[in-house]
Amino acid sequence: MDKKKIGVIGATGYTGSELVRILTNHPDVEITMITSESRAGELFSDVHPFLQGIADQKLVSINDIDNYELDLVFLALPHGVSMDFVKRFKDKSFKIIDLSGDFRLSSKEVYEEWYKLNHIFPEGIEKAVFGSPELYFDKIEDANLIANPGCFPTSAILGLAPLLKANLIEEDRIIIDSKTGVTGAGIKAKTVNLYSNVNDNFKAYGLKNHRHTIEMQGILDEVSGKETRIQFTPHLLPVDRGILTTIYARPTEKMDEIKLKELYNNFYENAPFVRLRKQEPAIKDVRGTNYCDLFVTYDERTNMIIVISVIDNLIKGAAGQAIQNMNIMFGLDQTNGLNLIPLNP
């Protein structure tokens, strides 16, 4: 089989570098085009020196896209910019996987309320498939536009989906407490991720109004068939990468550990990147991989179900999940190119 021709649109950020790093060793694809408007003409390894001698491809402008035959493009672009690309190239034959938030929500109105941006291509929202392979595998197979999930939503949705699908918890009293590494803030220098603010520190942010709240709630509504209500609070950890999410939910019927374990085992029996752990996982258990590690337990004293979910925010929370979606869209084994072993310690 001929290798699929891939374009990476937007190469200067963490997501772009992770896409290229993983795709370079993928057996079924070749990177045909990598773009950067600010660094066009330079080598990709000039932007990301750790890939010198591995990915030395010259960066080009998006305006040169007609010079390339492409089967699929990844959009590693900021929110508000991806929609411009999708609208401009909507009639092209290549498939699109967008890693921004531009097509993840249910409508133009919801997007504009939470992102405070005008959405110029609502038709894309209607056509996009939410790229969670564990939930929407069949839809992803036939999709031409994938809205790759956010990192926090990936950890939370995978932790909650079995419980909500089985209607085993109160859907209007869900607490999601998440901690993330600083790469979640992107590669550009910001006050929030300066060394002096992050080192030896730990803090909450985005209380009550973080934009990932509505993304989680929209998908969880679909999973449960009911209107959910979540309390989501993210925190910034003084680490490079990784997300640890702790979820608290109250059961609607008598619960025990055996029932919980069976529920999760059955729900994820065909999910190669979800690992159900026997003990509480840590972010180093998934560092550098496409795994989501889950641990679920029941506290009889408080009558609460507790779920711990950990992912690498740059891989399962971004580039790795996008490549998993690409594999499904091309009819490949979804694990191709993603057999990565955790970096621990």
* Active-site annotation holder among 151, 169, 219, 315: 151
CA distances from 170 to 147, 187, 227, 246, 308 (A): 28, 38, 11, 17, 18
pTM, entire model: 0.97
d(CA 189, CA 177): 26
Residue 71: DSSP 8-state: S
Q: What is the pLDDT of residue 86?
A: 98
d(CA 40, CA 273): 35
Burial class (CB in 10 A: 0-12, 13-18, 19+), 345: exposed
d(CA 156, CA 264): 14
Burial 210-223 (b: 16+ CB within 10 A, else e): bbbbbbbbbbbbbb
| Contact of 170 with 318, CB cutoff 8 Å | no
| Contact of 309 with 156, CB cutoff 8 Å | yes
d(CA 142, CA 154): 21
Please confirm, yes or no, whether 292 is among the known catalytic residues: no
CA distances from 79 to 75, 111, 118 (A): 10, 11, 11
User: Which three-class secondary structure state does DSSP give residue 181?
Assistant: coil
Q: What is the pLDDT of residue 3?
A: 97
Q: What is the pLDDT of residue 94?
A: 98
What's CA 185's distance to the chain center, in Å? 14
d(CA 267, CA 161): 9
Residue 284: DSSP 8-state: G
d(CA 332, CA 244): 30
Q: What is the mean pLDDT of each run of 10 residues along the chain (345 residues)?
A: 94 94 98 96 96 97 96 97 97 97 98 97 98 98 98 98 98 97 84 87 94 97 97 96 98 94 98 98 98 97 97 98 98 98 94
How far from each other are the two terminal CA atoms of the chain, in whole angstroms? 38
| Contact of 96 with 325, CB cutoff 8 Å | no
- Please compute Rg for the chain using Cα positions: 20
Q: What is the pLDDT of residue 190?
A: 80
Q: What is the pLDDT of residue 104?
A: 98
d(CA 16, CA 77): 9
What domains does the chain contain, in order, with CATH numbers?
Answer: 4-149+316-329 (3.40.50.720), 151-313 (3.30.360.10)
Residue 316: DSSP 8-state: I
